[in-house]
Structure 1
């Protein structure tokens, strides 16, 4: 029989509705009867005891808010009767002992990856085109059109064909004329293009930050090499980019082609040279073949977007256990989205391997929150209308569920935006909670797979890193099957455990990392790239 309410942690004084509840229903939780006071939608929270104004609200075992008004036992929590509140954290107060999960099932397993000279292993083999400044975006788009048309077996644009049929047949022909598919020129290399609005204007620090991000993309193991376009007069000078690359990898050995338009004359002269030399480099990259690699060479990014009230009890804990399994196997995991760690700082601080890492985490959190407050905002304004509608009514409540993506393993490193992951184990990376800004940053820090949970649905992908989309509920997976790769709704229904779903997810990760399966975001050609300007972005 499906549970109707779930108490996530023994110390919680609220429970999550697993299904729609009717006013007057009597439900037993921990041997105590709860009479539902209001019609309550699934994913929302119900008070397990009477709360006076100002009382603490505890979920996942941490403070997630306080009662703005008196809340009766069995009453639903809303933005009208709950206020944001978090525990104050100033230092590491203890050490959390970790017992790694059993990984015998995965010992000795491997994936088929692209081995790089620096020891990293890619899950893809990509030749990347990007500009150092927005002035070159138009040239990047011209190159994209040329290379994608001639090199790649691109999926035909059915929407263009639909419009064509409407134009030529007065909208009466439903069957679209099929265009012949073009054979791929190269089978072992992908060509991707990114553009951006930075590199000049703004403040110099923004350009330096962008340089570190782009250098991280080039150093990412999924990238074989790159063609880079520069105008010449911009803030993000070629040397600034090269310096950022040298900082990340002093012994960088990939093929790198850089072109500066103001030194090359006409657009035609530059693009003709770019096309000839890039084609040669892409052909050479095509010679790199997949070879077996241990699972310790996997580096996973942990992301959530379009979260709902089930995310913290199904999809996110699944990622958490997956992270623990890969860490136990010697791999790397990265947890980002600092605004969505607000309220769980003490647990994360205590999980840091030493005081230096703990203090860096707290300093980054405090600086980020201060910048938000100075701009007239704050972490308490993080939950989106969609989050609130589906039961995440305070930032701390959202954060407590979001942090479950990081599992329980020790935190071996803490990185600021633009820094590159190097240590096996779990790393914290300072990014906004914005989905694309966060996934963009994780790819720039070296992850070769991104796991992305969602309760509401989001098509987010990345140009160089496969994104595996994990649904928190079955309804979403059935409504939007074109964007969801894994459905953890079976955890809500009680059909599967978190541990079972995590093992299933690792099997999929191995297939995606080996190139045997394309994720839904890859099939949709969803290649999102948004750098973070260090102003306020929640």
Structure 2
């Protein structure tokens, strides 16, 4: 008999519909009959008790909202009868962090094939990175991208270009070859990647300094072998600011960083010819680096979610959380970000901080962020997107309680502000927006050499230097968007797999991608997204 309702924690007073329910359905749940009083789509919630106005709604064991009006047992929770509400947090309420880690005996000696760097970090990719200090250099970056990508990489002929070619030739029904390629692979062990952005000048000086820290983190990231940097010369983000950021993040940086200032180099042709010649020499040297075994403790795994649905918090996110716990237990560094999507679970996270100063810093960063949102006329309560709401995440606290499951249960070893680099093993919390690309961009800038991205609705997000794996919360999504989804956790919803089994599958897939055995779907699609956070309000 198919399970139709599920409750996450014993103390919850709401249940999630696993299938579409219609008014009048009678569902046996926890040994009692529940009469469904309104149509409920799968992923949405019903109340298990009669609620009066201002009564608390508990899910994942925490306060996720309050009733706006009377809601009867068996009735659907909606944006009209529920409002966002979360519990306040003022201080840590436990003296020490107690954690029972998962059994990692079969993981302790596991390795992946990575690119070893002089500073002890290990990359899952080997990238020569081109980026500008200011948007004025974006065009030159695009020229370099066109030159290097065409000459150094095998590329599949674009399907849309093939279609247009057929249309021009008057043969729209001609076949399109999925495997047709152009060019030849020049180097086996190095990729060239390119970043453009709209920053570096014209905003406040603090934004340029923050961007410098982020770009320095990309240079420091173990997936990067070396970098070519373009500066105009007169912008806010001066070359020296980048050098200072690099020195702060690593005074002994042993990577080649080639920096060019256009206003000191004459014509565009002269500058580009110099850049191409010197960068090519650096790329040739970087190609000599080969993959070698490394313990999985060298993985810094970004934990991301986007396009979340009502199943994300009970399948994909807790499964990723279990993988995160395994990695933390063997000395790796999972990274949990998206501070607006931790609203409502702050007390749990504060209590998991190993160091009291980190607990205080987390609360300070959260309050400052929320106050900035309110000052701009918004707030964390406006975080859920229309897609989130349509698929069952109707309050920010409800969304956050499920999103936080990506971080598992392990102790929090460090709290980092945006642009700070991960140096400690164990779970790290990084202050970023909930915006998918801004958050992913920030985690990679803080050292993530691989990112696992859960989604219930589907998103193609990737990153220029780090593989981004997509984990579907449901099988319908995985089957509808197979070119985007790497892993399907729908078996958890159907009761075919446990959270622990699915978490181990995720980690196995991570190791294969980290070793170069298989490619992340986002890399196959050449999805290279990069959006820096301007520290204004971005939810």
Write out per-residue CA displacement over residues 247-271 of structure 1, whole angstroms, 9 at most, x where no aligned residue: 1111101011000000001100000
Matched, 1:58 2:58: yes
Q: CA deviation at 1:172?
A: 5.2
Please name the residue that 1:81 is paired with: 81
Question: SS at 1:65's partner residue?
Answer: strand
Question: SS at 1:129's partner residue?
Answer: strand
Please name the residue that 2:155 is paired with: 154
Report how many aligned residue pairs link the two structures.
538
Q: CA deviation at 1:179?
A: 6.3
Matched, 1:196 2:197: yes
Q: TM-score, normalised by structure 2?
A: 0.99
Aligned partners of 2:154 and 2:181 also within 8 Å: no
Please name the residue that 2:47 is paired with: 47
Please name the residue that 2:226 is paired with: 225
Please name the residue that 1:381 is paired with: 382
Please name the residue that 1:347 is paired with: 348
CA distance in 1 between partners of 2:521 and 2:2 (Å): 30
Please name the residue that 2:463 is paired with: 462
CA distance in 1 between partners of 2:222 and 2:118 (Å): 10
Q: CA deviation at 1:505?
A: 1.1
Q: CA deviation at 1:348?
A: 0.2
Matched, 1:289 2:290: yes
Matched, 1:33 2:56: no
Unaligned 5+ segments in structure 2 are none
CA distance in 2 between partners of 1:246 and 1:443 (Å): 18
Aligned partners of 1:192 and 1:463 also within 8 Å: yes
Write out per-residue CA displacement over residues 196-248 of structure 1, whole angstroms, 9 at most, x where no aligned residue: 00000110000000000000000000000000000000000000001001111
Question: SS at 1:188's partner residue?
Answer: coil
Aligned partners of 2:97 and 2:354 also within 8 Å: no
Matched, 1:24 2:24: yes
Aligned partners of 2:162 and 2:176 also within 8 Å: no
CA distance in 1 between partners of 2:230 and 2:245 (Å): 16
Please name the residue that 1:216 is paired with: 217
Q: CA deviation at 1:31?
A: 2.1
CA distance in 2 between partners of 1:7 and 1:180 (Å): 50
Aligned partners of 1:165 and 1:176 also within 8 Å: no
CA distance in 2 between partners of 1:161 and 1:112 (Å): 36
Aligned partners of 1:299 and 1:448 also within 8 Å: yes
CA distance in 2 between partners of 1:437 and 1:405 (Å): 18
Please name the residue that 1:391 is paired with: 392
Please name the residue that 1:440 is paired with: 441
Question: SS at 2:23's partner residue?
Answer: coil
CA distance in 2 between partners of 1:488 and 1:26 (Å): 28
Please name the residue that 2:72 is paired with: 72
Question: SS at 2:155's partner residue?
Answer: coil
Question: Aligned runs of 1:475-490 on 2, under 5 Å?
Answer: 475-490=476-491
Unaligned 5+ segments in structure 1 are none
Deviates more, 1:444-453 or 1:153-162: 153-162
CA distance in 2 between partners of 1:390 and 1:434 (Å): 18
Q: CA deviation at 1:107?
A: 2.2
Write out per-residue CA displacement over residues 120-165 of structure 1, whole angstroms, 9 at most, x where no aligned residue: 0000000000000000000000000000000011121121121111
Could you say if the C-alpha distance between residues 183 and 334 of structure 1 is closer, same or farther in structure 2, counting changes exceeding 3 Å?
A: same
Q: CA deviation at 1:105?
A: 1.7
Question: SS at 2:19's partner residue?
Answer: coil
Please name the residue that 2:238 is paired with: 237
Could you say if the C-alpha distance between residues 284 and 63 of structure 1 is closer, same or farther in structure 2, counting changes exceeding 3 Å?
A: same
Write out per-residue CA displacement over residues 489-536 of structure 1, whole angstroms, 9 at most, x where no aligned residue: 000000000100111111111110000100110100000000000111
Could you say if the C-alpha distance between residues 30 and 285 of structure 1 is closer, same or farther in structure 2, counting changes exceeding 3 Å?
A: same
Aligned partners of 1:7 and 1:29 also within 8 Å: no
Question: SS at 2:156's partner residue?
Answer: coil
